Structure 1
């Protein structure tokens, strides 16, 4: 696929049981921001956030995590939610990144919460946008997906159904995740890999079958030990992940700040990229100066 130039230079990183594609931009000696997207999206989610960060002197590492919109199959990787969190930690090790700002969204936010409790050593601070949390992994709208994934061929049926633009705009598609329409080329970037590759569908099926609220509930019990700053940049109008989840997370975290974002739903990086980027720049700069 043709990827947005704003993401920067592509790089394939060989890990123990997977090769992960990432994109790097910004000064190599700047504070590093690593992004964790969720199910059936890829690094393109952040394409309008990255330029403002790099202009401010931050180094951005956007990644195609193996959650259904990636181009490199990972048949030998552990794609349970803790396994994906371990992949994030392994990538940070492989790139030798320290004092990282991790930015999570949607189910990528759940992965980030698990990462915070399993591998906090390279994390300097965290930004969580609307994300699966507590008992909402998945939220009610998507709760049937792990069950459906146990039916042989279900992923192929879903990905073919999502070829239709009108289905993409339904709640079971992206309809409840964005307030403003996503460009067709962005949607195609998200959906084309699983539509065209049986191996990619096998990867996302393995992940879906292991999604369960026990993972986020277990992480929530341990978040009190994460003593680094956390920014909860949450869409105030989101009904899939209501801002009450951010309030509950803030109660668990020792150093958390909630900033409501207006005129947005779950995909804040697409609905309000400038607002999110400015919040990240301010957050990283303020913490570095503290």
Structure 2
């Protein structure tokens, strides 16, 4: 897997390559690029870039002084895009919504459009049902305790945690992969805790959200009908916040739409890209 050295440390990423429009995918806590494993193969003619962000599922720790706050992660994502040297990027987020703060921070010059899939927004950082888990991460040894609890089937499948993020259920081997780095490495657990406990207060989050009105490029908001993590009213509210926002609702899905409804998500994404000037590359034969 290739990597790029950034100010906070080394970021691994997958890149399908090709001459098509560039899509950069974000992921949730403590997930990695496999969150999109069902969707990327459906996006023929697009260059899909999937960084493994330091949200706890990353395989190499960041520098000890790395800023892994919500704002810091957004800026790190922007730095990653800059280092790739690509423009006219479509940024696709699911679960973690902090990538939107590139707009709030005035660092979205390379972003041509946003796709926000059942993600954190407004003051829902972290999502209500997950706040008990993030509180655990704030106590000494808390992340280690969480990785241990994730081995217990009843905890792993709890609907107020990861068991509530997918109607189909996240396969055990995928969850094991997401939690493996924090299970093995104390430094990764440090990074995990730094990010998990980084959400600012409600007033700050809402002030940052107001700045999103400045993003005058196309935005697709995809909301899940059976989502327990992201409030149902946030979908239309988020689409209305952006001047060029549009909303698609997907039934029979929880937060992880790429897990529950990858075909419908890919269809909505391809249609949005084509309508906003990002046609897929065509290959001879």
CA displacement at 1:258 relative to structure 2: 0.4
Task: State the partner residue of 1:154.
Answer: 142
Question: Residues 219 and 244 of structure 2 are in contact (CA less than 8 Å); yes or no, is this contact kept in structure 1?
Answer: yes
Assess, with a 3 A threshold, how the Cα gap between structure 1 residues 280 and 26 changes in structure 2: closer, same or farther. Answer: farther
Q: Which moved more, 1:138-147 or 1:272-281?
A: 138-147
Partner of 1:283 in structure 2?
Answer: 272
2:70 is equivalent to residue 65 of structure 1: no
Give the superposed CA RMSD. Answer: 1.6
Counterpart in the other structure of 1:49: 39
- Unpaired stretches in structure 2, ≥5 consecutive residues: 280-285
List gaps (5 residues or longer) in structure 1: 1-9
Q: Which residue of 1 aligns with 2:131?
A: 143
Give the C-alpha shift of residue 239 in structure 1.
2.7
Find runs of 4+ consecutive structure 1 residues off by over 4 angstroms.
Answer: none
Q: Is the 8 A contact 1:138 1:212 kept in 2?
A: no
Which deviations, in whole Å up to 9, do the C-alpha atoms of 1:54-101 show, x marking residues without a partner? x2x100001111001110100332101100001100001100010100
Contact 1:71 1:193 in 2 (8 A): yes
C-alpha distance 184-147 of structure 1, shift in aligned 2 (>3 A): closer
> d(CA) in 2 for partners of 1:289 and 1:129?
18
Contact 2:240–2:246 under 8 Å retained in 1:
no
How much has 1:289 moved relative to structure 2? Answer: 6.6
Mapping of residues 202-241 of structure 1, within 5 Å: 202-214=190-202, 215-241=204-230
Cα distance in 2 for residues equivalent to 1:69 and 1:249 = 27
Deviation at 1:126, TM superposition (A): 0.5
User: Cα gap change, 1:71/1:91 in structure 2, threshold over 3 Å: closer, same or farther?
Assistant: same
Equivalent residue, structure 2, for 1:97: 86
Q: 1:174 aligned to 141, 155, 162, which one?
A: 162
Kept in 2, the 8 Å contact 1:137–1:213? The answer is: no
Q: Is the 8 A contact 2:90 2:111 kept in 1?
A: yes
The number of residues matched between the two structures is 276
Aligned-pair CA distance for 1:138: 1.3
Q: State the alpha-carbon separation in 1 of the partners of residues 230 and 186 from structure 2.
A: 31
Write out per-residue CA displacement over residues 10-32 of structure 1, whole angstroms, 9 at most, x where no aligned residue: 211111221000000041x2100
Give the TM-score taking structure 2 as reference length: 0.92
Higher mean C-alpha deviation, range 94-103 or range 233-242: 233-242
SS for the counterpart of 2:197 is helix
Query: Which TM-score applies when normalising by structure 1?
Result: 0.91
Deviation at 1:196, TM superposition (A): 1.4
- Aligned residue number for residue 266 of structure 1: 255
Per the alignment, in what secondary structure is the counterpart of residue 39 of structure 1? coil
Alignment correspondent of 1:31: 21
Judged with a 3 Å threshold, the aligned counterparts in structure 2 of structure 1 residues 155 and 286 are, in CA distance, closer, same or farther, namely same
Alignment of 1:6-25 (within 5 A): 10-25=1-16
Deviation of residue 166 (structure 1)?
Answer: 2.6
The yes-or-no answer on 1:113 pairing with 2:104 is no
